[in-house]
Amino acid sequence: MTGEPAIISSAAALLIGNELLNGKVEDRNLGPLARLLRSLGIRLQRSVIVPDDVTAIAREVAALSASYDVVFTSGGVGPTHDDVTLAALAQAFSAPLEIHPELEAMLRSVYGGACTATHLRLARAPRGAQLKGCPEVRWPTLVMRNVWVFPGVPELFRMKLATVRYHLRGSEPLHSVVLRLQLEETELTPELDAVVARFPEVEIGSYPQWSDPTCKTEITFDAVDAEQAEQARAALIQLLPGVLHS
């Protein structure tokens, strides 16, 4: 729990749950995770949703864990039959699924004599899993190798993100500026192409806005070097004289 945050570069998210795919529930966790990682300078490069299926989850965990510095999972960690994330992690890493002694002790201290076998399902962990804590969060986060395991309940997911902020940092935070224009994308594409070609170090995004009377297209400029982002924005403004922007 102490020491400097670990420096990482790439991340992936794995959202687990039939309810996200069958339309019963809309995911509310990726947005907060994406914004946190961005603020830390960590690049979220892929997000996958899979159903509550041990084999599907295990295959995805193995693939993402091998390709990205850190993987964040959401969902499938409760006590019921459809909570299979920890079994899938065990399968992905060929580790036995056990009762984690520290989690068991915590559950017994919370529930005392009322602690049931069902409560102890919440202490399951693949052998080798670590617990990561931080001052703001009472319950630790289970981390297996480079996979951080979060609950799917949005209120708990967001609360536990503080643990990520405490332990991880990106290598190169991005600086971002925005240009909001009263032009359609088709009216600015050649000029934008010229700026894209001139500033290869700046990641430029163009996003049509359909429900905003004050803006038809939003252009974003992201770069490790804040000055480059500003220069790219200024260059586009210069190529599009007389347009409204804020």
Shortest Cβ 96–a second copy spacing (Å): 22
Binding mask of the shown chain, residues 66 to 105, with x at each position contacting a second copy by CB under 8 A = ------------xxxxxx----------------------
The residue (of 147 and 174) whose beta carbon lies closer to a second copy is: 174
Q: Is 146 in the site for a second copy (CB under 8 A)?
A: no
Closest listed residue to residue 187, CA positions, set 217, 210, 221 = 217
CA gap 85, 96 in Å, rounded: 13
Q: Is 113 in the site for a second copy (CB under 8 A)?
A: no
Among 54, 97, 134, 153, binds a second copy (CB under 8 A): 153
The residue (of 80 and 94) whose beta carbon lies closer to a second copy is: 80
The residue (of 44 and 71) whose beta carbon lies closer to a second copy is: 44
106, with CB counted inside 10 A (0-12, 13-18, 19+), is middle
* Chain mean position to CA 161: 9
Alpha helices in the chain (DSSP H): 18-21, 30-40, 54-67, 85-92, 101-111, 117-120, 154-167, 189-198, 226-239
SS3 39: helix
Q: Is 169 in the site for a second copy (CB under 8 A)?
A: no
Closest listed residue to residue 219, CA positions, set 200, 191, 197 = 191
Q: Is 206 in the site for a second copy (CB under 8 A)?
A: yes
Residues in the site for a second copy, rule: CB under 8 A?
Answer: 18-27, 30-31, 34-39, 43-52, 56, 78-83, 116, 118-119, 121-122, 153-156, 174, 185-187, 189-190, 192-193, 196, 203-208, 210-211, 220, 222
